[in-house]
């Protein structure tokens, strides 16, 4: 009887301790969310949200708007696609005009690649490419930008779609967040609320060089598999995705506040230390895989462009937060990448410097989210043209030199 009473006492004590642990953990979760703005946000590894499901159904039904499936790029600009403020030509370039494959005599042809120029927040006629063409009648600027592209996709698009148009100058644009996309395969793993729940190819660094991993969804019908059996498909998409591998996932025991708290603490203190941070001390971490791959993609872009007889130029397009941080004395988050360009002798334009010179009155609304405002685009066109003039790159016969 004494043994039974002792066991009962211990069971009551353990149960009370367990309940107390859950209550304390629940309170800690509330405080983390309210004070530290750290919510419990596990990565979805067995399901997709309702909005993304609707978007994928539209995508499979051919209602993707200005985005179309691509087995090479993951997705691309839909030829002749339309959006509320956007339109594409038959070649998938932004804008309604078409271009001959061979440039017209006496015309300087510039081709631009990246993600920023295909957003839906500015009209086609407000883009800096259109501004530059209206200002200089002997200049063509072909906009090959695609919504939410990484620089890996932008480079691949140059190789697969851009070289045929024989540009004199090729501009590769990047955003401060572009480095994150270099190690991302399935966009929702990086940005859970994305309106583009699609997969992409990515490069990995192996044996001292870049190796391309094709998009894991190699055909459009495989997106139907994602819709019907996400629990099977999503882990496969995460095999080479930095965010899937470094994030935490909801399990059956996550109903317990203590388990959720432990997952957050493990993510903050252990996982992120094991998976080398992409940023360190406010700038890109040169020791990360993301930086190594990103820098190598730019190296490959410059080499391929020069081999094709064109002039490569890299353009950094900062967000409002980057401008504000710099104005308050903070570092440029992408400064290590600019140092890489300097060491290699690459031509590049940091638009933050241009905004500091000409755009002191620019506001956050002018610079983000999405595309720059018409005023911001005008400044981009102005700064880039001045750079081309200073570099003696405005001659329509540039390629023949």
3-class DSSP state of 279: strand
Give the span between the Cα atoms of 114 and 175, in whole angstroms. Answer: 9
pLDDT of residue 357: 85
pLDDT cut 90: percent of the chain above it:
48
Neighbouring C-beta atoms of residue 389, cutoff 10 Å: 10
What is the DSSP-derived secondary structure letter of residue 164?
G
Contacts for 207 with CB less than 8 Å, ≥ 6 apart: none
Mean pLDDT of all residues in the chain? 85
User: pLDDT higher for 289 or 269?
Assistant: 289
What is the DSSP-derived secondary structure letter of residue 66?
T
Contacts for 395 with CB less than 8 Å, ≥ 6 apart: 108, 401
Contacts for 338 with CB less than 8 Å, ≥ 6 apart: 316, 332, 348, 350
Query: Distance from CA of residue 44 to its chain's centroid?
Result: 19
pLDDT of residue 250: 73
User: pLDDT higher for 170 or 326?
Assistant: 170
Give the span between the Cα atoms of 109 and 131, in whole angstroms. Answer: 15
What is the DSSP-derived secondary structure letter of residue 158?
I
Tens of pLDDT along 176-221? Answer: 999 999 999 999 999 888 888 999 999 999 988 999 999 999 999 9
Mutual angle of helices 320-327 and 351-358, in 10-degree steps: 70
pLDDT of residue 386: 96
| Domain limits, the chain | 1-37, 50-248+278-400
Confidence label for 62 from pLDDT (cuts 50, 70 and 90): confident
Contacts 24+ apart (CB under 8 A), 57-64: 57/227, 59/198, 59/223, 60/220, 60/223, 60/224, 60/227
pLDDT at 304 over 80: yes
pLDDT at 157 over 80: yes
Dihedral angle computed from the Cα positions of residues 219, 175, 191 and 53, in that order, rounded to the nearest 10 degrees: -40
Least confident of 115-119, 140-144, 331-335, 340-344: 115-119
pLDDT at 119 over 70: no
pLDDT of residue 113: 95
191: its two tokens: 């940005």
3-class DSSP state of 283: strand
Give the span between the Cα atoms of 354 and 332, in whole angstroms. Answer: 14
Confirm if 180 and 333 have CB atoms less than 8 A apart.
no
pLDDT cut 70: percent of the chain above it:
88
Q: Has domain 50-248+278-400 been given CATH number 3.40.50.1110?
A: yes
Return the closest-CA partner of residue 115 out of 71, 145, 143. 145
pLDDT of residue 2: 67
Tens of pLDDT along 320-355? Answer: 888 888 888 899 999 999 999 999 999 999 999 998
Give the span between the Cα atoms of 360 and 92, in whole angstroms. Answer: 35
3-class DSSP state of 183: coil
Tens of pLDDT along 8-58? Answer: 888 878 888 877 877 887 888 788 888 877 887 776 667 888 999 999 998
pLDDT of residue 347: 98
Return the closest-CA partner of residue 149 out of 124, 118, 128, 123. 118
Query: Distance from CA of residue 126 to its chain's centroid?
Result: 22
- Mean pLDDT value of segment 118-123: 53
pLDDT of residue 223: 94
Q: Which residues pair with 211 in a beta bridge?
A: 204
- Mean pLDDT value of segment 257-270: 74
DSSP 100-135: -SSPPTT-EEEEEESSGGG-SSS-GGGSHHHHHHHH
pLDDT at 228 over 50: yes
Confidence label for 125 from pLDDT (cuts 50, 70 and 90): confident
pLDDT of residue 265: 77
What is the DSSP-derived secondary structure letter of residue 50?
H
Cα atoms in the Cβ-side hemisphere of radius 13 Å centred on 130: 17
Tens of pLDDT along 64-90? Answer: 677 889 999 999 988 765 554 444 445
pLDDT of residue 334: 96
pLDDT of residue 12: 79
């Amino acid at each position: 009887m004494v043994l039974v009473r002792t066991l009962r006492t211990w069971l009551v004590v353990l149960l009370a301790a367990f309940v107390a642990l859950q209550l304390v953990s629940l309170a800690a979760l509330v405080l983390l969310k309210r004070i530290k703005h750290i919510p419990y946000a596990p990565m979805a590894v067995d399901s997709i949200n309702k909005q993304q499901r609707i978007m994928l159904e539209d995508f499979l039904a051919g209602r993707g708007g200005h985005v179309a499936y691509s087995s090479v790029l993951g997705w691309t600009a839909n030829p002749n696609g339309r959006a509320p403020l956007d339109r594409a030509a038959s070649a998938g370039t932004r804008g309604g005009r078409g271009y001959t494959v061979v440039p017209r005599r006496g015309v300087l042809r510039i081709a631009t690649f990246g993600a920023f120029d295909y957003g839906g927040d500015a009209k086609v006629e407000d883009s800096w490419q259109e501004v530059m063409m209206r200002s200089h009648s002997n200049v063509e600027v072909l906009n090959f930008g695609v919504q939410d592209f990484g620089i890996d996709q932008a480079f691949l698009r140059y190789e697969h779609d851009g070289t045929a148009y024989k540009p004199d100058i090729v501009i590769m644009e990047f955003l401060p967040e572009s480095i994150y996309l270099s190690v991302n395969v399935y966009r929702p793993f990086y940005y859970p609320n994305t309106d583009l729940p699609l997969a992409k190819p990515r490069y990995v660094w192996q044996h001292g060089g870049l190796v391309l991993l094709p998009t894991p969804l190699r055909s459009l019908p495989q997106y139907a598999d994602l819709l019907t059996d996400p629990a099977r498909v999503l882990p496969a998409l995460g095999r080479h995705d930095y965010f899937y591998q470094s994030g935490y996932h909801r399990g059956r025991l996550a109903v317990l506040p203590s388990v959720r708290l432990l997952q957050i603490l493990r993510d903050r203190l252990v996982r992120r230390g094991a998976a080398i941070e992409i940023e360190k001390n406010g700038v890109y971490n040169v020791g990360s895989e993301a930086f190594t791959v990103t820098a190598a993609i730019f190296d490959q872009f410059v080499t391929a462009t020069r081999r094709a007889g064109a002039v490569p130029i890299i353009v950094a397009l900062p967000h409002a937060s980057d401008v504000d941080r710099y104005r308050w004395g903070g570092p440029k988050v992408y400064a290590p990448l600019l140092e890489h360009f300097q060491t290699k002798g690459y031509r590049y334009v940091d638009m933050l410097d241009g905004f500091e010179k000409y755009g002191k009155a620019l506001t956050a609304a002018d610079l983000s989210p999405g595309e720059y405002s018409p005023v911001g685009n005008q400044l981009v066109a102005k700064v880039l043209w001045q750079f081309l003039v200073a570099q003696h790159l405005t001659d329509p016969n540039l390629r023949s030199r």
